[in-house]
Structure 1
Amino acid sequence: MARVLRSEIFAGKLRAGEALPERALAARLRVSRTPVREALFILQSEGLVELVPNRGASVRRITADDLTEIYSIRGLLEGHAAELAAERCSEEQLDAMEDAQIRLRRMVSRGSAADQAAADLAFHTALSEATGSPLLTSLLSQVLAFTVSFRANYRYPEARSQTALAEHQDIFEAIRSRDAALAGRLMRAHVESSCRFALEQFHAGDQEETATDAALL
């Protein structure tokens, strides 16, 4: 159930601030309220849902400070993950990263924002699994879930897509070459680059909302 709701948030079907009433969700998904309630608690732990006593659940609104903090955490965790992957990954895990990169390349010109976000997530997930650390993979899955929920709301322009692809490829090559120090540095630089672009999109969205609100007055 958490997977279904998470996917809808990632795809933008459930928007920031949207209420998530248990009864309505249970009816739409044809389940009892118990699994819905459990799913909402899981999504709250991932930072995707806000639960307020006596008001219920809603899709969490992401702030600029949230983005800055979560990308900072991502840089620390994923930089370490890239180093471990370079030291530990198997040939099968390298293949999984390469497959994810190929999938992301296909999404550059024809994929929706949600498609691009899912393909990007596949690469980062494959890399985290290549660390051989279930704990690190679990932590990263929560951190990545937060950024993907925002990432799925806007489509990368061609230039940014090509930059991200090149950064991924450099990281992949460093891991394949077993250069842990280089892989870590490249990943941290990639996360910093992604953070800058995400903040640009966030502030652009704020300006659009302000202009729309003013037009309605």
Structure 2
Amino acid sequence: MSLSNEAFTRIREAIVSGKLDFGERLSEMQIAEALEMSKAPVRTAFFKLRDIRLVTIVPQAGTYVFSPRREDVLEMSTFRAVLETAGMRLSMQHAAPVVIETLEATIEQMEKALGSGNWAQYEATDMAFHEVFVRASGNSFLPQAYDLTASAIQALRVRLQGGEGDYRQQSFGEHKMILAALKDGRLDAAARALEDHIMVINEARLHLPEGTSRARARTRAPEEYKALFAG
């Protein structure tokens, strides 16, 4: 793995997992020191992260973790619902047995993670469930379009699943409902259930930044970055 890819992967994981806060300013120099590399790979990683909507680069001001508004969440979830329901229909035409088998295996992994309280594993398998539809669609453009917002949506879902309420249990039940409809051949019902499942994020109590000024955005101390990227 190249240094820029390593930096991209490490910073992406920190944003998606919630270790880095929405709207906070990122220090290229301090992150480079924490990752024990030069600034050039980190700068390249910032551009890659910008392309998938995880950071905003402001000329003469700096690089900031994305700071979604309610309107942004609605746009992202609508975009995702359009792509995933289209992917579901294409994948069921293109490779239905493989899709069903993969979804069954993913549901089993989700259930184990839920039972053991392994939330990182649950979130990973949750994402894998949804990716099946676009990856098995037979259309090479769908995964490319999906990846534009996949990480940002994952970051939102991680924060939602870490909040109050019984969100994971509800989410797991909805995944099982989608699979059951597909196995019964009720494609339209499965697509409606999938869309409802995706769009529910708009009704959730997400703690989103409100009018955060970049001039007042948080910047971490060097030792915080070192602890965050340790190992």
TM range (shorter): 0.7 to 0.9
Give 2:88's match in structure 1, choosing from 82, 95, 103. Answer: 82
Give the structure 2 partner of residue 161 of structure 1. Answer: 168
CA distance 1:140–1:120, shift in 2 (3 Å):
same
CA distance in 1, matches of 2:106, 2:122: 11
Cα deviation 1:50-99 (Å, max 9, x = unaligned): 10111211111121111111111111111111111221225444333222
- SS of residue paired to 1:89: helix
Give the structure 1 partner of residue 206 of structure 2. Answer: 201
The 8 Å contact of residues 86 and 174 in structure 1, kept in 2 or not, is answered as no
Shift of 1:190: 1.4
TM-score (norm 1): 0.81
**Greater percentage in helix:** 1
Which residue identity lines up with residue 9 of structure 1 in the other structure?
A: I
Shift of 1:157: 5.7
- Alignment of structure 1 residues 43-192 onto 2, 5 Å: 43-89=49-95, 91-109=97-115, 110-112=117-119, 114-154=120-160, 155=162, 159-192=166-199
CA distance in 1, matches of 2:95, 2:184: 11
The root-mean-square deviation of aligned C-alpha atoms, in Å, is 2.4
TM-score (norm 2): 0.76
CA distance 1:56–1:157, shift in 2 (3 Å):
closer
Give 1:4's match in structure 2, choosing from 7, 10, 33. Answer: 10
CA distance in 2, matches of 1:185, 1:133: 21
Aligned length: 202
Deviates more, 1:27-36 or 1:40-49: 27-36
Which residue identity lines up with residue 167 of structure 2 in the other structure?
A: R
User: Highest relative contact order (Cα 8 Å, sep 6+), 1 or 2?
Assistant: 2
- SS of residue paired to 2:72: helix
CA distance 1:168–1:32, shift in 2 (3 Å):
same
CA distance 1:93–1:32, shift in 2 (3 Å):
farther
Shift of 1:177: 4.6
Sequence identity, in percent? 24
Structure 2, unmatched stretches of 5+, are 1-6, 211-231
